[in-house]
Structure 1
């Protein structure tokens, strides 16, 4: 037999005391009970993954904060999936990627979205217009109502940010 670390016992206790509450909280916010159950489990997994588990005075507040972040990620991913599927819908059938390739594309989009989330909106939009839509700096400047030198600065910021995040 082996000893269970105290931190695991603490999380197990939190799970027993608050899982039902968290699951109900998530079910109110999601249209899918199975997705609510998954996010509830993911919330406790995140808690287990925290390197330091401080004393928790308000467990429901902490669990709600973690779950809210996961919920935001969930809705953001669904939005990206819808946009991706809409883009696929306009392609001729022979050009559609296979299921595995579609999954890879979606995973890349989600990772890119996470990285770009740290940018100012104008920098993010400049990067996307350049890299996704293929617009030239002059076109981006005209569309955003900015100077070309501003667009160049924004792209520099975006590229440095992506490099720091390991994307480039």
Structure 2
């Protein structure tokens, strides 16, 4: 079902706000069941900020009180395809050595971003690195990596909304969708 606002392209909803909320509750319970002490949550910015915020609140409801730091990396620039190289735009401020770390990303696509973040954090001495993504788009994987926790499988289309963008647009949408027309 297309959704649009004045001056915007029509967006076909793929995952509703309600279905996302339901999956986040399940993910949070699963992550809490791991009983990871000294948990540090590391959202990969910018696309994961909405998902990470909701997941953090879900983790709180599940009884966790993690610390949070942010890692900002980019492999897309302003386009719709990965450029194949991951750059650190903002590094972590907290020390990860000896910590259990939950890395949160919006979409596991080529795998380069998540693999880079996981390897970086592991190389810095994290005790364990667990990964959680909103969407898993298996069709474009360039790096052998699987997320530990996945909310949804992503169809082979470019998606926007719920923090994900096209050239900094559509992040505010409360659902995941694709531009139509």
Q: Same fold (TM over 0.5)?
A: no
TM-score when scaled to structure 2? 0.24
Q: Which has the higher helix share?
A: 1
Higher relative contact order (CA 8 A, sep 6+): 2
Task: Give the number of the structure whose alpha-carbon radius of gyration is greater.
Answer: 1
Q: Which has the higher strand share?
A: 2
